[in-house]
Chain A
Amino acid sequence: MFLLLLFSALILVIITIFIINSSYAHAVQKARKSIISSLNEAAVVIDSKKNVSFLNKPAENLIGISEKEAEGKPIDDVLQVYSVENDAPDTYNLYSQSADVANRQSHTVMLRKVNGDKSQILLTTTKNVLGTNEYVLITFLDTSDEKQLEEMKVDFVSMAAHELRTPLTAIRGYASLLQMHYATNLEASAKELLTRLIVSTTNLTNLIDNLLSVSRIERNDLTVEVKPLDLGIIVKDIFSSFEQQALTRKQHFTLDMSDKLPYVMADPFRIGQVFINLISNAINYTADGGTITVTVADKSDHLEISVQDNGEGIPKEAMARLFTKFFRVSGSLEQGSKGTGLGLYITKSIVEMHKGKIWAESTLGKGSLFTVSLPIATEEQKAQHDKHISNNAFLTVKNGQGIIIKKMPTTTASANI
């Protein structure tokens, strides 16, 4: 009897503990729910079966669905997301992609609302909410406005740059006309001022061109038109255009390349910009008397083009951000207005458009090595573009920056291409 009593008491205690515990858990869950409800960010909680457990007001508004309608429904029916790139329904596995707060990631996707409208959203999934592993929290923000603002910014930069070009061309033109044809009787100091004027307008022109390239990259508007190309000709051409500049700096400037190179698929103008950027950087950031070596190596399935210098080098902490927009290595300020912080960003973008890679190695005080790797053209690619080759378009690079494209006499063109 006593035993029975003890046993029931024990059971009672256990039940009480259980009730207290679960009501505590319930209270916690309720508190968390009310926190989620009060968020400004849209939030949907789904259970382990990927059905909607509940959603807050901002989520209701953004999707255009009421909590009642959504509750218990599969998440894929309630939250219809598409990939931004190709408008295809995203087979997004929301549940398996979720991670806990510390490790979660956000994705930009398109949301199709109940009324058919689409919005770009930034979506984050978080596991382990409401105190249990059972639930996944999906939060999302409408970023359409930000996207639009970003587009407006890019458009503005592009428009401003275009508008600046015309008057700048006039300033540069008059300055160089003055220098070439009217400056003979000027005193030396006036000639020097004129030279500075021209250098500054040239820098400004480069800056504007770079800004335009960046805005094209950001609008996915910068196109590359690849054709089978003997990169050797391009590199040699660019190399020669810099020889004079290196000579005036008393730099040892050499090109190491075999005569016969396999073709790569490349856009001659764009890929030219890459090597112009890398070589001009090497010359600018290497002291007088330094050494710059350009190497083109055949690595059987790709070509590696490297530009090595023994210049000032790049600090370790700068390496990670070297190819990002508007990044300039601090301490390179003494270089004056030479760099815009856009060159390497543009360079990397162009290389990647060619399915190539670019990387840098550097030791502060010892020099830098920039390497571009480009895949070699397959027979198939070459055959496909054979018709293109017979086009008589040819391109020359002048003075390391200007381009003049001319039709070459057919005989010369076929010898070159």
Chain B
Amino acid sequence: MRKILIAEDDFFIRDIYSKVFSLSGYEVQVAVDGIDALEKIKANHYDMILLDIMMPRMTGIDVLKNVRTLTTPVKDTPIFIITNLGQQNVIEEAFKLGMDGYILKSQVSPQQIVDEINSYFINKESVPQQ
């Protein structure tokens, strides 16, 4: 079973995402803000991390930055940003920092996010690592 961390400060959205991922066969853990997320990432192994950007205490972009500069294998965990911020410069910054995908929250249903994450894993298995 794939283990996934969902970092999202809004109670309802966090609840929806954890339900939909659990129902789709993922083992779900949640974080309520950026610091919480970073602590959990350091202490656990995840197959995927989903980060909101606008979170209290630490933004998702900063979590991403921190994870990618770690020295443990954790630094290569796939990270998707799931946010309502659609500005090109934010997206490009996240790409430069090494995120693996960017999903505009308001534009997709929770199931579409699951589908996207599923297809990410399918692609990853079929494409040889470089």
Contacts and interface: CB of A to CB of B under 8 A. Distances in A.
Interface of A: 162, 165-170, 172-174, 176-177, 180-181, 205, 208-209, 223, 225, 267, 269, 391-393, 398-399, 401-407, 409-410, 412
Interface stretch (B28-36, B57-65, B110-118): B110-118
Chain A interface main SS type: helix
A181 B101 contact: no
B88 A223 contact: yes
A173 B109 contact: yes
A407 B95 contact: yes
A193 to B, nearest CB: 18
Given A391-B95, A398-B112, A177 B101 contact: no
A405 B102 contact: yes
Contacts of B95: 391-393, 407
B123 interface: yes
A393 to B, nearest CB: 5
Contact of A177 (B89, B91, B110): B110
A393 B91 contact: yes
A403 B19 contact: no
A406 B104 contact: no
6 contacts: A167-B12, A181-B20, A393-B91, A404-B116, A405-B102, A409-B130
B104 A225 contact: no
Size band of the B side of the interface? 35 or more
Interface in B4-44: 10, 12-13, 16-17, 19-20, 23
A208 B86 CA distance: 14
B102 A170 contact: no
A285 B130 CA distance: 48
A403 B12 contact: no
B119 to A, nearest CB: 9
B106 A165 contact: yes
Given A393-B95, A406-B101, 16 more contacts: A170-B10, A173-B109, A177-B16, A223-B87, A225-B89, A225-B92, A392-B95, A398-B108, A403-B108, A405-B101, A405-B103, A406-B102, A407-B95, A409-B123, A409-B130, A412-B127
B71 to A, nearest CB: 23
Nearest to B82: A404
Contacts of B104: 402-404
Contact of A393 (B23, B92, B107): B92
A170 B12 contact: yes
A7 to B, nearest CB: 88
Contacts of A177: 16, 19-20, 23, 110-111
A267 B88 contact: yes
A166 B108 contact: no
Contacts of B91: 393, 405
B120 interface: yes
Nearest to B20: A177
A391 B117 CA distance: 22
B100 to A, nearest CB: 6
B106 to A, nearest CB: 6
Given A404-B116, A405-B91, A169 B13 contact: yes
Nearest to A170: B12
B69 interface: no
Nearest to A182: B23
Given A393-B91, A393-B92, A407-B100, A402 B16 contact: no
A303 B89 CA distance: 27
Nearest to B11: A170
